[in-house]
Amino acid sequence: MKKVILFGMLAVISLFGLQSFGSIGDSNPTIQVDSVCFSRDVLPILNSNCAMSFCHDAISHKGNYILTSYSGISKGVKAGNSTNSSIYKQILNDKMPESPFAKLTATQKTVIKNWIDQGAKNSTCEVTDCDTTNVTFSTIKPIITNNCLGCHNAENASAKIDLSTDKQIDELKEIILCTILHASYCKPMPYNGLSLSNCEQKMIKCWVTLSSTGNIQQGEQIANNFNIRSSNGSESATINFQLDKRQIVAMSLYSYQGRKIRDISKEEYSEGSYELTFPTNNLSVGVYFVRIQAGTSIQSLMFTH
Ligand code: HEC
């Protein structure tokens, strides 16, 4: 019960968060300039600004640099000595990224400099206590900015996806989630075989699940306290809902693109609270919706598997 209340509160908080959209700024609250972690801070900058197609990815490897992994990046770095590290020299005087790609910001340059001067270690800094209780748009925006913006901005919009404004991120959130979960039917991001950390994935999943534009209600409200969670180690999902009156309710499973996958149940229920479990073991990793229908009214809620 406690969980249900918390979930509701989060949904309200996140709706409020959404209303205060502004434009994306250059400042990045989560970048750790003093104590830099390679996989969280350095790799995303170099991957998204230098390792796009035709540049320093594994296929093009211009100048023999592949900037998508620690070993590739280390070739251009003298640990403890940023001044003599070729990668830092190139970005410091704006030789790289080459035009028309945007130069690195002062903060990004400092991150690279500090990482080299701190010994250029292959550090990960994966958080052990990932706290997703207060996730809002401002929590996930820096993750997108760090990891995606270099390849998805107005000038360089890979796959025509531009993530440079809050509004665009919001409008594309289901497909963003699909790509960062490496769902089988979306292109895995942030590209070049990389993944976001577990905690970053959880944060984005939490924000999208609570604020999804697919969480719709058309017509009269059918159910109260409608929620879905994974159960039995992802073998199944459990739906909870509460009905105020006796009615016939049909439930179906949809893909995030809006394609019906299968019916879950259709029954006449009397007033009361219900719990219903359906198998998810044959679903691939990804983003789904459960849609409930009674007469002409529809309610739908997103969940991930
Ligand atoms: C190194 C460059 C690069 C980075 C970094 C990157 N992307 Fe992409 N992205 C691409 C390319 C290239 C494509 C087109 C892929 C294709 O068609 O094979 C793409 C495609 C996409 C698509 C369309 C996927 C689809 O299935 O149609 C989305 C959404 C996306 N990226 C989101 C992201 C997000 C979110 C991040 C950050 C977590 C990110 N990208 C980071 C290069 C990048």
If residue 299 lies in a helix (H) or strand (E), which one and from where to where? Answer: strand 297-304
Instruction: Report yes or no on 233 lying in a domain.
Output: yes
Among 264, 256, 260, 269, smallest CA distance to 280 is for 264
pTM, two decimals, is 0.82
Q: At what angle do helices 43-50 and 106-117 cross, to 10 degrees?
A: 130
Instruction: Report yes or no on 6 lying in a domain.
Output: no
Instruction: Report yes or no on 247 lying in a domain.
Output: yes
If residue 267 lies in a helix (H) or strand (E), which one and from where to where? Answer: strand 260-269
Instruction: Report yes or no on 262 lying in a domain.
Output: yes
Q: What residue owns the CA closest to ligand 1's atom 9?
A: 158
Q: Mutate which of 189, 195, 201 to test ligand 1's pocket (most atoms within 8 Å of Cβ)?
A: 189
Q: What residue owns the CA closest to ligand 1's atom 10?
A: 158
Among 154, 165, 189, smallest CA distance to 175 is for 189
Q: Mutate which of 151, 184, 207 to test ligand 1's pocket (most atoms within 8 Å of Cβ)?
A: 151
Q: Both 196 and 233 in a single domain?
A: no
pLDDT attached to residue 21 = 32
CATH number of the domain within which 263 lies? 2.60.40.10
Q: Among 181, 210, 239, give the residue marking a domain's end.
A: 210
Q: What are the φ and ψ backbone dihedral angles of 70, each rounded to 5 degrees?
A: -60, -45
Q: Both 152 and 54 in a single domain?
A: yes
H-state helical runs in 166-244: 166-171, 173-180, 198-211
Q: How far apart are CA 150 and CA 51, in angstroms?
A: 9
Instruction: Provide the domain count of the chain.
Output: 2
Split the chain (305 residues) into runs of 10 and give each run's mean pLDDT. Answer: 38 34 38 78 94 87 91 96 96 89 92 96 87 92 95 93 96 94 92 94 93 90 93 90 96 92 96 96 92 96 91
Q: How far apart are CA 51 and CA 87, in angstroms?
A: 13
Q: Both 196 and 234 in a single domain?
A: no
Nearest atom in ligand 1 to the alpha carbon of residue 52 is 1
Cβ-based burial of 11 (10 A; exposed 0-12, middle 13-18, buried ≥19): middle
Residue 34 CA neighbour count, 13 Å, CB half: 1
State the residue range of the domain holding 225: 214-304
CB 60 within 8 A of CB 70: no
User: In the chain, how long is the greatest CA-to-CA distance?
Assistant: 75
Report residue 23 CA to chain centroid gap: 19
Pocket around ligand 1 at a 6 A CB cut-off: 47-48, 51-53, 147-148, 150-152, 158-159, 161, 175-176, 179-180, 186-187, 189-192, 196
Q: Among 210, 238, 255, give the residue marking a domain's end.
A: 210
Instruction: Report yes or no on 3 lying in a domain.
Output: no
